[in-house]
Chain A
Amino acid sequence: SAVISQKPSRDICQRGTSLTIQCQVDSQVTMMFWYRQQPGQSLTLIATANQGSEATYESGFVIDKFPISRPNLTFSTLTVSNLSPEDSSIYLCSVDRVYGYTFGSGTRLTVV
């Protein structure tokens, strides 16, 4: 199965700043997925990132707040902008494999 390197693993950020999360996959993939997991909650899909086109955002998530880049078939970044304490969550990237999805190890963001 694919190996995903996700960075950073955790960060503490001041409100009003931004955090960019990177995911590097060890093989080419068409779609990459970004999820948010709020404290004690399940995962919610933020957006789907396709190489060469704009990301597709789920209801409740907007590009200005969560800009995504997908410069090639093995890499993507998610930026969480204008941070507020409500953005404190774990953010995960994921790719689809035939027999299930592979997830990055997650980025634990704390906004103070």
Chain B
Amino acid sequence: SQQGEEDPQALSIQEGENATMNCSYKTSINNLQWYRQNSGRGLVHLILIRSNEREKHSGRLRVTLDTSKKSSSLLITASRAADTASYFCATEGGSEKLVFGKGTKLTVNP
């Protein structure tokens, strides 16, 4: 069963704007990861944030984690048309299994 719930389900923005996607989960975790999927292909790992971290940056990506609220957000700054994809959060607990959220479909219009 899925653990994460992302919102929004779909997001459409203009190039240069920031995109924020949110993820909520239900059980305790070791880490939370964000992935990107282009047109139903394989997933690409973007960033991992551990349960004892609150914020992490990687290039134009910023991830926050609030374990008290069991939620995370992914911010993509200065978006580009090439950022158009589906974004998934996934949580990893003690079993080394990833549990995925439902995903946000991001469209960046040129």
Q: Which residue of chain A is the closest to B34 with respect to CB atoms?
A: A100
Binds A, one of B13-21, B39-47, B59-67, B75-83: B39-47
Q: What are 30 A-B interface contacts by the 8 Å CB criterion?
A: A1-B45, A31-B96, A33-B98, A42-B2, A42-B88, A42-B100, A42-B102, A42-B103, A43-B90, A43-B98, A44-B2, A45-B97, A45-B98, A48-B97, A90-B40, A96-B96, A99-B45, A100-B33, A100-B47, A100-B48, A101-B43, A101-B45, A101-B90, A101-B98, A103-B35, A103-B43, A103-B44, A104-B42, A105-B41, A106-B42
B25, chain A: closest CB distance, angstroms:
13
**Docked-complex contact B42 and A92, CB < 8 angstroms:** yes
A33 CB contacts on chain B under 8 angstroms? 97-98
Interface on chain A toward B: helix, strand, loop, or mixed SS?
Answer: strand
A106 CB contacts on chain B under 8 angstroms? 40-42
B29, chain A: closest CB distance, angstroms:
14
**Docked-complex contact A100 and B45, CB < 8 angstroms:** yes
Q: How many residues of A contact B (CB 8 A)?
A: 26
B47 CB contacts on chain A under 8 angstroms? 100
Q: Which residue of chain A is the closest to B2 with respect to CB atoms?
A: A42
**Docked-complex contact B40 and A92, CB < 8 angstroms:** no
**Docked-complex contact A105 and B33, CB < 8 angstroms:** no
Given contacts A42-B100, A43-B100, A48-B97, contact A6 B40 (CB under 8 A): no
- In the complex, whether A108 has a CB less than 8 A from a CB of chain B is yes
Given contacts A43-B88, A43-B100, A48-B97, contact A6 B33 (CB under 8 A): no
- In the complex, whether A37 has a CB less than 8 A from a CB of chain B is yes
